[in-house]
Structure 1
């Protein structure tokens, strides 16, 4: 079946009996067009079922859309994966007449994040942000939107802000998945389970903890959850905290790592000699997590695909910048579960 030709601006102008410039003014709501002329143009648009051609519109603008990714500073391996995937996406971005750069900031400091976002006002078309849900951050996002900057949140959401889209997994479901895995690996043995997280201030970490606690309380009541350790996603900070936990809890059965810092956790488990005794479930399939799975230190990794997340951040950001549609199903991020037997 042959598809009908797409109506063009020239077709609209011909049917309405006006110039291309007049059609453009009507489409963009610019002043200087008589009411009767606006009616004729809108009637022609409806008659022809005209839809703007996004590719042609980008070419007509003759400018490059500027995207800025604001990511956590430090040595977080998952953030490194995100940056690498963004670099790999550069040729595609070029085809879309867009370019992206990465700025890093201490995401555990809402003041630092807010200051960084303020510096970006008027400097870019869209910001893709990974930060904590805090009043200062929410206000800074809203200020960016007031300055005609599109904001997309990544991995950890700030839902009460005026951001356009959130790109990431269902973190409550991820925490529930971790609890099911950990509980089934441990079985009927009664004992204690440790929890390591970056910070409760990070919404994704708080949501994972909520989901984890839900399932553990209802389905594995024989396992007692210890108060979470907050390591700010830093291996050097997490390692001594986990080492202290292992020394304090000689019968520890399980460990759930909600965020980053897995290198430190792995080192602490290996130094204790209990890496085969303590069931460990963690997040993100980084090179370090992969090695921990292969050598038996980690038992399962819950993953969100870094490449998919970067692409699914850029596409909605550019769609908002250009006034195009977003296909929600295309941007849904899956929760992947990896054992040593199904590593990609």
Structure 2
């Protein structure tokens, strides 16, 4: 049988009330008593039933997810995963609110974060933009004991409780390896497309990509990054201009969204057959492009896993419970036409 709080109290030689105060980190307990209770917990292997304790206290978790608005298919998929969890969250005494802000707008994001009441929210998950105002708004939440996880894109200058997403440097390196191997002995230029160099995930993907290209594929040259704001029309416009200026482009790497614009450009006049194309996130549009041979490889991350992981991490921070090692690792997935299901 699992040890109970009564067993802990007997082992420690203290009252049930003292054990309860220690478990809930309430004030008014002597250090000697805390040491006795902690020693008893360790010896007995007592594991606290957090769900039962929260039910008894009528504990309700209230979480805010702050994500970009707009046509970005991956972000809309992320939103759908949050909504799916939200539909069943009442059973776990959890309330979820979704706030949407203009993409790559640090001021708007900071204003939304500043508008979150620390007395209301138990935790916050945010797709972050690197800006001083954003960092300060996140720091304010932490000062008010609200745990924060960054989702998809990190803010290294801010010490959050966790980052939930893929290793973006590794993702960029993976894209470069695919690009270089697919191109074989070809030489030429690679067009790089990003949403913005103001978000850490795109910065890190570029960093990883260029590291591998420069070290292992010296016959290839990376062009300056096209910042398409994850907007299909802008990507279409800027990439078309790039290809007109550089007739020797042999590869295209889109490290952000806006894939519909990329597909539109490369599907004209069989242009995709002349170039290797690597992009991010398996969506309805990129799936069709893979099938059609317009895109050669997609690097993907599981949005549902990220949402569920963010919630588990926030709850663990609140309840001061451990997490299973490896459960929260978001893995890089690679899709080719051959392994689409």
Do they superpose with TM above 0.5?
A: yes
Distance 1:23 1:241, change over 3 A: same
2:143 to 141, 146, 164: 146
Distance 1:68 1:10, change over 3 A: same
Name the CA distance, whole Å, in 2 between partners of 1:93 and 1:102. 13
Deviation at residue 216 of structure 1 after TM alignment: 0.6
1:256 aligns to what SS in structure 2? strand
Give 1:13-28 correspondences, 5 Å limit.
Answer: 13-15=9-11, 19-28=15-24
If the length of structure 2 is used for normalisation, what is the TM-score?
0.93
Distance 1:12 1:257, change over 3 A: same
- Unaligned stretches of 5+ in structure 1? none
Q: Does 1:89 align with 2:85?
A: yes
CA contact 2:152–2:164 (8 Å) conserved in 1: yes
**Equivalent residue for 1:285?**
282
Q: Does 1:164 align with 2:169?
A: no
2:277 aligns to what SS in structure 1? strand
1:305-325: CA deviations, max 9, x gaps?
A: 111111111111111122211
1:245 to 242, 246, 256: 242
1:252-275: CA deviations, max 9, x gaps?
A: 211000000000111122235412
1:132 to 129, 133, 153: 129
Give 1:1-344 correspondences, 5 Å limit.
Answer: 5-15=1-11, 19-33=15-29, 41-42=37-38, 44-90=40-86, 93-122=89-118, 123-271=120-268, 273-344=270-341
RMSD: 2.0
Deviation at residue 147 of structure 1 after TM alignment: 1.2
Deviation at residue 328 of structure 1 after TM alignment: 3.4
1:341 aligns to what SS in structure 2? helix
Name the CA distance, whole Å, in 1 between partners of 2:204 and 2:51. 39
> Please, which moves more after superposition, 185-194 or 9-18?
9-18
> Please, which moves more after superposition, 133-142 or 147-156?
133-142
> Please, which moves more after superposition, 256-265 or 155-164?
155-164
> Please, which moves more after superposition, 233-242 or 49-58?
49-58
CA contact 1:58–1:96 (8 Å) conserved in 2: no
1:172-192: CA deviations, max 9, x gaps?
A: 111111111111111212211
Distance 1:37 1:309, change over 3 A: closer
Name the CA distance, whole Å, in 1 between partners of 2:262 and 2:203. 20
- Unaligned stretches of 5+ in structure 2? none
Name the CA distance, whole Å, in 1 between partners of 2:177 and 2:98. 36
Deviation at residue 225 of structure 1 after TM alignment: 1.2
Deviation at residue 96 of structure 1 after TM alignment: 2.8
1:284-326: CA deviations, max 9, x gaps?
A: 0011110110111111001111111111111111111222112
CA contact 2:70–2:103 (8 Å) conserved in 1: no
CA contact 1:246–1:272 (8 Å) conserved in 2: no
Number of aligned residue pairs: 340
Distance 1:36 1:83, change over 3 A: closer
Name the CA distance, whole Å, in 2 between partners of 1:28 and 1:276. 63
